[in-house]
Structure 1
Amino acid sequence: MKLNIPLHLKPYIITQETSAYTPEDHAVWRFTLRQLTAFLKTHAHPFYLEGLRKTGITVEKIPSISNINQALQKIGWQACPVSGFIPPSVFMELQSYSILPIAAEIRSVEHILYTPSPDIIHEAAGHAPFLACSDYSAYLKSYAGVAKKALLSWEDLNLYEKIRDLSDLKERKDSTEKQIQKAELALKQAGEKLSFTSEAAYLGRMNWWTAEYALFGDINKPTVLGAGLLSSILESEDCLKPAVKKIPLSIDCINYNYDITKPQPQLFVAKDFKNLHNTLNEFSKTLACNVGGDYALNKAQSSKLVNTIELNSGLQISGKLTNSINCKTTGLAESNHSAIFFKLEGPTQLAYKNKELKGHSKNYHATGYSTPLGTVKNIDLAKASSKELKELNIKVGQKVLLAFDSNIQLTGTITDLLFKGSQLLLISFENCCVKYKEQILFDPTWGAFDLAVGTKIVSVFSGPADTATYNVDVKTQPQCIAKAKPSIEQQNRFLLYEELQHIRQSFLQKNTVTKNIDALFAKIKNQKLHWLVLLELYELSVWSNSPVQSDVLSLLKHLELNTHDSRCLKRGLNTV
């Protein structure tokens, strides 16, 4: 599977080991898909079943993500395998490249009704089908493009890791109650320590209440649309009951938090696809990437992560913002409020139109970057004519004093002028001193100085401008959910599933398997059998009109089951 994926996203991509799926894993897939399709054919958005067909997803076995990728390529998308709950920002960035990340793991038989951790059922049977719907696909691409630019915070990453740890523990069979309680406490404490809600967190909520958990259509009789609902036997049914509050979708959905490990107490209903687009567009207008100015700069400083500041000249400066000075401290007119100086720490990249400027990589600006902004003698250097630049003595080799109207003064000798076409982006100096009143902002002993040309900040967005050359560090290490070694009992169960699968294939090809079913039942009827093994046997006995079907049904009805397994069996019998 060849995918054009940015370098910083590649650590999250894994290889789907189809041979690692156990016979029970395939039985879990069959059971879940059978229940979902039986219910959703009348309760999901009408496109659902068509979407399953178009993406090549069948009930019989766990799909190859490579095959899903081939099917999606026909409709302008791709698919790649990942492990479990990857960072939401990574999920969205992959989607912005029209790539659907699909978790390669599959839920355990103990969590058939609802899994706290993303799996192949959630992504393949939940997200993939609606990518073939042009209206919904357009919404997802728009959303991913917006989410890619939304500002994250370091607190978001910490919270994500705690959510991931808890969801993984809840899915693992060998987790202890003590481990789960410890992870729940860690998540609670991380949530309590959040000092603010980032743009990415707000957009994460919007994604949750739309792409993951949206209902669609008439609020009094909605259909299921969100992937989280489409892939959960429990929630796909329960979500339509009166106990779950239904709210018309609006921008207010961002004010509702959610718990990934529990069913949701309320859901939002999108009237139509236009409703989805309008809600997204309304919120995107409030983002730093679209607002700019001090508002955006303050959000970047709170983020404490690498972001990109774009000036009105088109120059893009990517790094961790640590400090800024704005006009409120200069006594300038209220209408002129904007940053007049800012400083970034650590590796900083300078770029134009998302391409790194030659000689201005993060290695060159390894210890940080700072620059004043604003007009000089009421001249915007970003728009200055060659005549105005000459009047200001701005030419290579000239020693100059640039007196900014903000009271910042710069003295130094110009060593280079960097243009892109006719657009001046940078003025480089040696022996440069930058002062604001009595404060030294840049000292000549610190080396060369590169003045960013611009008077205002038009946008601030997440991550570096040129990710390919910046080589973003992986913020959170990807990890796979380790499978516990199967017990002897499980291994014996796997053999039964395997035998049932052979009988199933024989039936599908020849439409007659009665003798095989009768013989298998005679061999195992006195054993302690798992409900899913018996259910598969019962299904085959009904299909082939075997005389043992009543005996198998009797065994099923006399099983002693917990609440989860009892609910599963009841649903299974209803669809045989």
Structure 2
Amino acid sequence: MKNNLPSHLKPYIVTQKNSEYTPEDHAVWRFALRQLTFFLKTNAHPFYLEGLKKTGITVDKIPSIDSINTALQKIGWHACPVSGFIPPSVFMELQSYSVLPIAAEIRSVDHILYTPSPDIIHEAAGHAPFLAHKDYSDYLKSYANIAKKALLSFEDLDLYEKIRDLSNLKESKSSTDKQIQNAESELKTVIKNTSFISEAAYLGRMNWWTAEYALFGDINNPSILGAGLLSSILEAESCLKPDVKKIPLTVDCTNYNYDITKPQPQLFVAKDFKNLHNTLNEFSKNLVCNIGGDKAVDKAKQSKLVNTVELNSGLQISGKLVSSISCNNASADSLGGALADSLGSMGEDFIKNNHTNIFLKFDGPTQLSYKNQELKGHDKNYHVTGYSTPIGFVGNVDLSQTSKKELKDLNIEVGKKTLLNFDSNIKLNGTVVDLLFKDNKLLLISFKNCCVKYKDKILFDPSWGAFDLAVGTKVLSVFAGPADTAAYNSDINVQPKYITKIQASIDQQNYFLLYEELYQVRQSFLKKNNISKNLDSLFKKIKNQKLHWLILLELYELSIWSDSPINPDVLSLLNSLDLDKHDKCCLKKGLSIAKQI
């Protein structure tokens, strides 16, 4: 599966090291899944428990992502392990290939109720189950395919890194208060300095309020649907309370920002799965990949990242569209020397004529494609320093729609020196060396000894080499990334950050052995064996040690299930523990369902 993904996604995929999960990690999984399944069987969307079964997820121990992948393949999906909080754009692109990224890490026992960082409980127990629901699965795939076209900005990348760093610090046992405070301060600074909200950011909000935090059904009595709620014991319980505002799901949800490290003050309720699809479709109508034109070009320039501009001929230009000059009438007098200075040095991207783009310039490696396939001889190594072209009508003619005979009548023929007078007053003078057609449409005219002028302003000088004219009259679409991602071999916008598990001390390792011994007793009980002697022996071993509430809770559960005489003693020991507010809450929740096998 990994081999079939674009190269820029592969660095985010890691290997799940099952041997690195400690017996305590597995106990954390059991506690979380027991709490969640008990609460969610009556409060989640009815499909949830069925989805857990279909994706091969059990309460007993942390699942192998390979086994989840095997189960998902039966319903047209795959799963792959990743490390921590990966870029939302990467998460969405993987989903567009029907791949669910699953964070291989698991939350610490200190964050068992709620973790600020994605983990295997969130992905496997939250996202995976509803992939088996066709309507919801279709929504996720539609969303992912739309989201991967939405334009990112350079500011999005900076914001992502700050959120990732803060969430990792909040989850890590080794973080100091000072480190967390500094990370929070850096995040606030980035948010304060954000100059605009990108398409991808707006769509990220929609994902947050649907796939992550949606409620479902009757707004007065909703059930839980979003993975963030399904995987958070605290938020699953609190989200249905009256103090959390419930809002009918509409495109207005994209106007609500969110904080990944905190519980959410309001939630959106999808009336049904059709509501999800309709909201997505309504929002997507205004994405620049669907509307094109000047707005699309402006947003590509604002992005400062590699995007694809598609002309009405079908030619796709992938690169960084740089700064612009715009004017109402594109008169030479109104532009004056600034145009000569900027375009003479090729420092500006495009001119507008009556708010219609007539000249585009891309900076840095640029790829030319058609139908998402790179054109031979027009890769980013050929156009390594950039690419520029006029677009528009020539004598009221759309050259992409002309036949070879009509081109010949216009003196556009290989070997002929020709003059093209664009309706925008741009003039191109050069010798035709090649005409590139696809599906009977002219896409490119290549010239030598070519000069491109806007009145007396030089846009392209013959000394700069060969010139490839992109044929088209208007920008039909702009979408994120290169058209042919495999051929472009994109650089990674944000380097992956891999979370390293802290090595356990000798004392911790000895402590984990007790967890493992208890787990084996648990397995023996589930196989209908008598475990009374085992429990009695284990209790004698641990009762005088300073132990965590979680291991004692697991011992208590087994003592109830097996009707062991040590039951009152274990409960007494649990009640004598000096616990903080978080651990008291956890223990109370654990005791409340201890009888449930």
Q: Which runs of 4+ in 1 moved over 4 A?
A: 324-327
- Which residue of structure 1 aligns with residue 190 of structure 2? 190
Q: 2:130, 2:420 → 1: CA distance?
A: 57
Displacement after TM superposition at 1:210 (Å): 0.3
1:478 to 475, 481, 496: 496
How large is the Cα RMSD of the aligned pairs? 1.4
Alpha-carbon distance in structure 1 between the residues aligned to 2:178 and 2:499: 18
**Residue 435 (structure 1) aligns with:** 453
Query: Could you say which residue in structure 2 is the equivalent of 1:110?
Result: 110
* Structure-2 residue corresponding to 1:84: 84
- Structure 1 CA distance, aligned partners of 2:295 and 2:184? 35
Following the alignment from structure 2 to structure 1, what is the Cα–Cα distance between the partners of residues 145 and 329? 36
Q: Which amino acid aligns with 1:571?
A: K
Retained in 1: the 8 A contact 2:451–2:461?
A: yes
Q: Return 5+ residue gaps in structure 1 as ranges.
A: none
Q: CA deviation at 1:131?
A: 0.1
Match of 1:212 in 2: 212
User: Is the 8 Å Cα contact of residues 325 and 339 (structure 1) preserved in structure 2?
Assistant: no
Aligned pair 1:175/2:175, yes or no? yes
| Residue 556 (str. 1) matches residue 574 (str. 2) | yes
- Residue 453 of structure 1 is aligned with which of 430, 448, 471? 471
Match in the other structure for 1:490:
508
> For the residues of structure 1 that align with 2:326 and 2:393, how far apart are their CA atoms?
14
2:555 to 530, 534, 537: 537
Q: Distance in 2 between matches of 1:361 and 1:399?
A: 26
- The answer to whether the 8 Å contact 2:205/2:254 transfers is yes
Aligned pairs (5 A) from 1:131-150: 131-150=131-150
* 1-structure distance, mates of 2:3, 2:486: 15
Structure 2 residue aligned with 1:371? 389
Q: In the aligned structure 2, how far is the partner of 1:148 from the partner of 1:492?
A: 47
Q: What TM-score, normalized to structure 1?
A: 0.98
2:8 touches 2:490 (CA, 8 Å); kept in 1?
yes
Residues 30 and 59 in structure 1, CA contact (< 8 A), matched pair in contact too: yes
**Which of 375, 390, 406 matches 1:388?**
406
Asked whether the equivalents of residues 493 and 533 of structure 1 are also in contact (C-alpha less than 8 Å), the reply is no
The structural deviation recorded for 1:111 is: 0.4
Q: How does 1:245-394 map to 2 (within 5 A)?
A: 245-324=245-324, 328-330=328-330, 337-394=355-412
State the 1:325 CA deviation: 5.3
In structure 2, distance between residues paired with 1:565 and 1:514: 28
The C-alpha deviation readout for 1:307-341, integer Å capped at 9, x for no partner, is 00000000000000014456723369x99642000
**Which residue in 2 is equivalent to 1:101?**
101
How far apart are the structure 1 equivalents of 2:29 and 2:422? 67
Offset at 1:527? 1.3
Does structure 1 conserve the Cα–Cα contact (< 8 Å) formed by 2:430 and 2:450? Answer: yes
* Counterpart contact for 2:391–2:472, Cα < 8 Å: yes
Rounded Cα–Cα distance in structure 2 between residues aligned with 1:308 and 1:144: 18
Gaps of 5+ in 2: 333-351
Q: How far has the Cα of 1:218 moved from its partner?
A: 0.4
Supply the AA of the counterpart residue of 1:63.
P
- Cα deviation, residue 391, structure 1: 2.0
Deviation at 1:437, TM superposition (A): 1.9
Q: Which residue of 2 aligns with 1:203?
A: 203
**Cross-structure match for 2:443:** 425
Structure-2 residue corresponding to 1:166:
166
Matched, 1:528 2:557: no
Q: Following TM superposition, by how much is the alpha carbon of 1:485 offset from its aligned partner in structure 2, in angstroms?
A: 2.7
**CA shift for structure 1 position 273:** 0.5
- Name the CA distance, whole Å, in 2 between partners of 1:365 and 1:9: 24
Cα offset, 1:524, TM superposition:
1.3
Deviations 1:280-308 (A, max 9, x none): 01110110100100000000000000000
TM-score between the two structures when normalised by the length of structure 2? 0.95
| Secondary structure of 2:63 counterpart | coil
Q: C-alpha offsets along residues 188-212 of structure 1, whole Å, 9 cap, x if unaligned?
A: 1111111100000000000000000
**1:235 maps to 2:235:** yes
The yes-or-no answer on 1:26 pairing with 2:44 is: no
CA distance in 2, matches of 1:399, 1:326: 31
2: distance between equivalents of 1:168 and 1:481?
8
Q: Name the count of aligned residue pairs.
A: 575
Distance 2:526 2:398 in 1: 75
